[in-house]
Each structure stands twice: as C-alpha cells, then as structure tokens.
Structure 1
Amino acid sequence: MLLDRRALEAREAQTLAPYAALSGASLGRLYPEAESSTRTAFQKDRDRVLHTTAFRRLEYKTQVFLNAQGDHYRTRLTHTLEVAQVARSAALSLGLNETLAEVLSLAHDLGHPPFGHAGEAILNRLLDAHGGFDHNRQTLRIVTELEDRYPEFPGLNLTRETLAGLAKHSRPAGGQHSLEAQLVNVADGLAYSAHDLDDGLRSGLIVPYDLRGVALWEQLSARLKLRPDHLSDKDRRCLQRELLGLLIGDLTAHSHEQLSAAGVATPQDVAAQPGPLIAFSTELQASLNGLNHFLFERLYRHPRVLRQVAQAEHCLESLYHALLKAPGMLPRGFQARLEQDGPERTVCDYVAGMTDRYALDEYRHLQGVGGESGF
C-alpha cells in the first residue's frame, strides 16, 4: 500500500490528539511552493534540516568536553539525537505530532557556535554593541537566511509552525507555543541533565561520593543498589537508563494531567493558555533543579572544563578580531554579505558556524599569518 501526502495527513487527523499540530492544517511557508506528493509538510521540513551543512557540523561541536578529548563523550550532534529520541517518545505517548517534534529537535541547536556555551558567551560579549549573539536567534538566521541551497528563496523555507517552534524565547502572536515546541524545550533540558551527568561520571570529574545529598542520585542509587565508592561502566549505564525512564515517565504523566485539567481541545486552546502545559511534576522538577545545580558547581566549573573555556575564549577572540581587521580572508559567500549585514555580524556568522577543530586549526593558521602581517 502506497500512502501519499493526503493519506498521511488523513492518518494524522484520525490518530493524533485534537490539540496536536496537524501538518494538513499548516499555515504554510514564507515563500509559497508546492508541497511534496509523498511527504507531509513537517516531513519535508525534517528532511531539509537533515541535509544542511549546519546539521553535519554538529558532530564536531562541543557539548561539555571538546570533541578531541574522547570518542565517547556527547557532542552537539549526539545531544540533538537524544533530544529527538526523548521528544518523539513523549510525543507518541501524548498523541502529539512526532514529526514536528522531531524536526524541532533536530534543528534546535543548529545555531550553536564552537566550544559550547562558552563559545556563545564569548560571541555575545564580542557582539555586545551589535545586537549580541544568542544561539536560538542564530538557528533562525541559519534556516531563514544563511543556508544557501535553493535558487527560489533564502534559507530552507520551513513551515511557519517549525519557525515558531524554533523561536522558543519569544512568545508567538497567538500566545503559547505549540505543545510540540513546548515538549522539545523540556526534552532539551532533560537530555542535558541526564547525559551531562553520564559524561561527568565517565570522565572521572564526578565520582559517586560527590553526589551524596543529590535527591535523584539518592533515589536511583538506592533502587539500583549502587555502591557509593565505585561505579562500574555497567552501573553507570543502568543509572543513565533509569534516570531517563524516570524523567520521561514523570514528564508524560504530569503533562497528560495538565492537558486534561486545562480541557484543551484544539491547538488554539493551547495557544490561549496562561502558561505551558508540558512540564514535570513539582516534586520531580525540584529534584531535577538539584541535579542541575550540582552539575553547574561540580562539572561545568571544574578546573579542567574552565581551562577549556579559557582556550575557547582566546581562540574565538583572536579569530573574530583578525577577520574583522581583514575581511578579505572570509570565504567569498560571506564577503558578499558584508555590505548587507555589516562586518561584525558577518564575521560572527562565519565564526559561529565553525566546528571546534576547524576553529582551532584556523586560529593556528592565523597565528602563523599574524607573524608576517601584524594581526
């Protein structure tokens, strides 16, 4: 049996919850174009994101540990895939549109610069007088302008629903974001907490004794009968699995309760709500906040991680100022944007798109150039 787009849209209408976003009811794209005969509008969005240069670069962008520090630590790409897994699982349980949740997950970190959050903070400081830098805004800039793949329009020409979901730090004109966008936002933080703990334990920067008093650790270590003085690789994997199961289970159960209590029956009802409906229970959120506080103090501010931040700062500052001084070193596509976007934003776009290793390679190259030309 061959299902065309109309059949797929009809299946969504028949099987999804009444408050889910339906691809057949999409508000369309910024630039009108014919939809696929075999894919829904959200499937088309997903496929366009997957084929971007920006998506491929996520493989070599930092999550917590630099890509070169080990093959088994999360990268921005594996983080993105884990967010997609969490979001799709929860969307399926809640009757939401899995495909919209998937495309939002896959696209949500396209705007991250090299060196993780440290890189973002550095670029924001460098661009302070020119609008600053925020990876969410950069994601929208990538999908609406910088990805140059189609002769008919700039960017990817994604649906308005996908674009609205990616603008997660600004409320849409209709009120609240779609449930799918709310879900991806929570799944992002959930995945961060779970896999950063896992990577911290794998690296040895965190040991079980450090976690004493952290509610989620106490709960899960008692359930799994983990030793406080030693955590084997198998124990760590069991801990990761149980933590994800606990978080996803609470998220879906509490969100279902919220949806039922609010009595929402359409996406318009969702938009009119005073606040998000996709959330953890109060108790679980408090426990998760405790874990996040622990990670901030003991992992993100660990001397080894802070040395990495210092390296990133020196590298990105040097690149930014060198390219600003000599924009002729920019690739021709970026040179063509100098007049339209200004030198500061254009250089920022170029540097933000770099992978960790490419930024370090360019920094080393410019150091050599600098000895000859005075950068």
Structure 2
Amino acid sequence: MSELAPYATSDHASRGRRHPETPPNNRSEFQRDRDRIVHSAAFRRLEYKTQVFVNHEGDMFRTRLTHSLEVAQIGRTIARALQVNEELTEAISLAHDLGHTPFGHAGQDALNDCMREFGGFEHNLQSLRIVDHLEEKYAEFNGLNLTFETREGILKHCSMKNAQQLGDIGERFLKKQQPGIEAQIANIADEIAYNNHDVDDGLRARLLNIEQMREVDLFNQQYEEVMRQYPNISERRAIHEIIRRMINRQITDFLDATSEHLKSVNPSSVDDIKQLSAPIATYSDAIKEKAQQLKKMLRTNLYQHYRVHRMSTKAQLVIKSLFRAFMDDIRLLPTDTYKNTLNEYNASGDQGRAIAIADYIAGMTDRYAIREYERIFDPIKLT
C-alpha cells in the first residue's frame, strides 16, 4: 500500500476490537477483518442470495456475493487513487450486504413488516449484528470481533433510537457526524456497482432494452461513442463495453470531484473528515443528476416490471408465511434454532422470540427459504 494521506484511517490509530487480541504478524488489522469476513458463513451464503432476480432464474444474473466482490474491486481502485486505506475500504465493501435477507429488497421489506411491532428490520443493522454476535466460529468470542472502523463503516444508516442502543458505534449518528472517507468510498462503490450491473442484468433478462436505456444520458453518451468506434459490434459485446465505460465515467468523475473537495477543505485527520456537514467523497453535481436519472429509470422499468413484481409478491408470501408460522409455533424450527429461540423467549418474551426468528429467516438463501416454505406448507413434502 502506498503512503496514506493524513485523513486516511491507519492501523495504528484504530480504536481496536471489542475483545482484545494479539496483533497479527503478517497482515494488517484491516486485512484480518477482510479475511474473517471472507471466511464467514454469512459471506458464503451471499452466493445464493439475489438482488433483483431469484437465484434459480439463471446462473447469468448477479448475486449478493458477486455484487460484494464488485463493490470491493471498485472501492479499492478509488481508495488507492485517493491514497486512503484500501484494506479498510475492502473490508467494509465485502461486509456491507451480510445482513441482507433472501429475495433482495422484497425480502427485507417483508421481514421489516413482520418485525414492525418489535423494532423493525434493517439490513445494515443486521450486518452489524452478524459480525458482532451471530457468527459462531471463534473459541473466545461470538461474532468476528472486527475493528471499530470496519464495524462503523458497515452501518451506513441508523435511526436515532437504534443509535442510542449501539454504544460507541452509534456515536456518529447521535453527533450527526460523517463516516470516515473509506466508508464513504464503499458507499459510492456500492451505488456504482448496483446501478450499472442492474442495467447489465436487466438487458440480459430482456426486461430492459437498448432503446429504453438510450433515454438515460449516462448510457446514451457511451452508446453513441461505442457505436461510432465499433459500428459492427454485436449487442452482447456492445452492452459490456457501454457498461464498463459508464462505470469508468462515474469513477473518474467521483475521483475528480472528491479530489477538488479535499483540496478545498484540506483535512489533516480522520476527525476533520467526520466533522464536516456533508460527505466529502461525492460526484460532481452533473454526474449526480445523471446517476439519479439512471436510478429513476431502473425503478420505473426494471424494479417495477411485472416479472420482478411477481417475484417480489412471492417473496413477501414466503417470508411472511414463515415468520407467522414460526411465531405461532417455534417447534416448527430446526432443533438448534428452536433451542436458541426458546432461550430468547424465556429471556425477553415475544421480543426475543421475534428477533431470533428474524435472524433465522434473514440468514436463509433464496433456495433454502423456498424449500423451508414447501416443507411447512406443502402437504406432499413430509420433511
């Protein structure tokens, strides 16, 4: 790693781990975080959790795992260019989706509805809950015992009510501070990967078409350049070329705009970044507007497409039916989950029972959730 800028987060300035550990010999503290995330069960399950399309619809579509890897790649590229901590950016990027439910945002919305009277469900908080409590691998502690900086970066959003219950991790929300620049980069890398790769998947699935996409400035500018440069290119290659250029355009703009902001503010520490009234890592106003146009098009033409809506409706049915069934009779749960849920119920009543059931459902893959639904509600499936 090249020399870090003064506003970057460094290992030696880390606020440490919840459970003290001997420093690693051959890697940095944030590399250790990254490695623990990659080797976690929750990370492996992301391979079978989808963003827009249900996992069994085809191997060509992106999953939460491929998305997380793409976010990490974009994040590291940006972090290196800005001379901030690549390894912390990568760790945050890889962990940001650990708490996602099966069936993408439709699954999260359904589980949030189920949990409304128990405080709701939010995937950022669930990601933190996974790395702090739910992973059970290490002899000396629950969770992954990640550094404060990685844990804080995972928590992109948080209500004031939840922040008050999170101790030091909730501080920045209570003080209305910004996250460190590495977390800001991971957030933008997530947005770049999500939007542009949903275009790719939407076009592959024939839910979007080229003419629709040409109404979006970011797409059309690259489309015209590619067609002018390669007039006989196949559609498949053209789509790939257009999307890679869209990503490059956004990264370049983000680097230029953020560099200008850094030059103007001239921060000399991590705290200088956090004390600002708005994120310092951002697009130019022009690209920000074009990115919003792209999001609006995806929302209207992809996320609300009837095929996607049908999948979302099925997802809501599966998640809500499972939650209600388990709340009504926890004996339907697998043995270990049943024992844990019973313990939580004995300790905290309905609240504890609901949280334990939400943990179980949120940890399911798309396929596992469907099979669990069939095992409980399909009379042909006996086990």
Give the TM-score taking structure 2 as reference length: 0.90
Residues 104-153 of structure 1 deviation map (CA, whole Å, 9 limit, x = unaligned): 00000000000000000000001010000000010011111111112322
1:254-293 to 2 correspondence within 5 Å?
Answer: 254-293=257-296
In the alignment, which residue of structure 1 is the partner of 2:362? 352
Deviation at 1:187, TM superposition (A): 1.0
Pick the aligned partner of 1:142 from 103, 115, 130. 130
Counterpart check, 1:364 vs 2:367: no
Pick the aligned partner of 1:51 from 30, 35, 39. 39
Residues 195-244 of structure 1 deviation map (CA, whole Å, 9 limit, x = unaligned): 0011111111111111243111221112112799x961010110111111
Quote the Cα distance in structure 2 between the aligned partners of 1:259 and 1:65: 39
In the alignment, which residue of structure 2 is the partner of 1:27? 15
Quote the Cα distance in structure 1 between the aligned partners of 2:150 and 2:244: 30
Question: Which letter does structure 2 place at the counterpart of 1:365?
Answer: R
Q: Structure 1 371/104 Cα, relative in aligned 2: closer, same or farther at 3 Å?
A: closer
Quote the Cα distance in structure 2 between the aligned partners of 1:371 and 1:286: 51
Question: Which letter does structure 2 place at the counterpart of 1:350?
Answer: Y
Pick the aligned partner of 2:297 from 284, 294, 297. 294
Partner-residue secondary structure (3-state), 1:37: coil
Alignment length (residue pairs): 360
Counterpart check, 1:129 vs 2:117: yes
Partner-residue secondary structure (3-state), 1:336: helix
Which range moved further: 144-153 or 290-299?
144-153
Which range moved further: 76-85 or 230-239?
230-239
Quote the Cα distance in structure 2 between the aligned partners of 1:28 and 1:52: 20
1:306-345 to 2 correspondence within 5 Å?
Answer: 306-334=309-337, 335-337=339-341, 338-339=344-345, 340=347, 342-345=352-355
Counterpart check, 1:89 vs 2:77: yes
- Report if the CA contact (8 A) 2:207-2:305 is conserved: yes
Residues 49-92 of structure 1 deviation map (CA, whole Å, 9 limit, x = unaligned): 11111000000001111111111111111111110011000001
- Report if the CA contact (8 A) 1:114-1:353 is conserved: yes
Quote the Cα distance in structure 1 between the aligned partners of 2:207 and 2:334: 39
Quote the Cα distance in structure 2 between the aligned partners of 1:313 and 1:48: 32
Pick the aligned partner of 1:206 from 187, 205, 208. 208
Quote the Cα distance in structure 2 between the aligned partners of 1:91 and 1:79: 18
Partner-residue secondary structure (3-state), 1:80: helix
- Report if the CA contact (8 A) 1:118-1:313 is conserved: yes
Question: Which letter does structure 1 place at the counterpart of 2:241?
Answer: C
- Report if the CA contact (8 A) 1:208-1:231 is conserved: no
Residues 138-193 of structure 1 deviation map (CA, whole Å, 9 limit, x = unaligned): 00111111111123222111111111111121474362211000110111111111
1:219-234 to 2 correspondence within 5 Å?
Answer: 219-225=221-227, 232-234=235-237
Quote the Cα distance in structure 1 between the aligned partners of 2:270 and 2:123: 27
Quote the Cα distance in structure 2 between the aligned partners of 1:212 and 1:68: 30
Deviation at 1:370, TM superposition (A): 9.8
- Report if the CA contact (8 A) 2:181-2:273 is conserved: yes
Residues 25-54 of structure 1 deviation map (CA, whole Å, 9 limit, x = unaligned): 111111112121212111111111111110
Partner-residue secondary structure (3-state), 1:164: helix
Quote the Cα distance in structure 2 between the aligned partners of 1:207 and 1:52: 38
Deviation at 1:369, TM superposition (A): 5.7
Compute the RMSD of aligned alpha carbons. Answer: 2.0
Question: Which letter does structure 1 place at the counterpart of 2:331?
Answer: G
Note the residue ranges of structure 2 that are not aligned, 5 or more in a row.
Answer: 159-169
- Report if the CA contact (8 A) 2:219-2:243 is conserved: no
Partner-residue secondary structure (3-state), 2:280: coil
Quote the Cα distance in structure 2 between the aligned partners of 1:101 and 1:111: 18
Question: Which letter does structure 1 place at the counterpart of 2:371?
Answer: D
Q: Structure 1 104/166 Cα, relative in aligned 2: closer, same or farther at 3 Å?
A: same
Which range moved further: 98-107 or 36-45?
36-45
- Report if the CA contact (8 A) 1:126-1:132 is conserved: yes
- Report if the CA contact (8 A) 2:48-2:64 is conserved: yes
In the alignment, which residue of structure 2 is the partner of 1:15? 3
- Report if the CA contact (8 A) 2:374-2:381 is conserved: no
Quote the Cα distance in structure 2 between the aligned partners of 1:197 and 1:248: 17
Question: Which letter does structure 1 place at the counterpart of 2:247?
Answer: L
Extract structure 1 runs of 4+ deviating beyond 6 A: none
Question: Which letter does structure 1 place at the counterpart of 2:189?
Answer: A
Question: Which letter does structure 1 place at the counterpart of 2:107?
Answer: G
Quote the Cα distance in structure 2 between the aligned partners of 1:42 and 1:142: 18
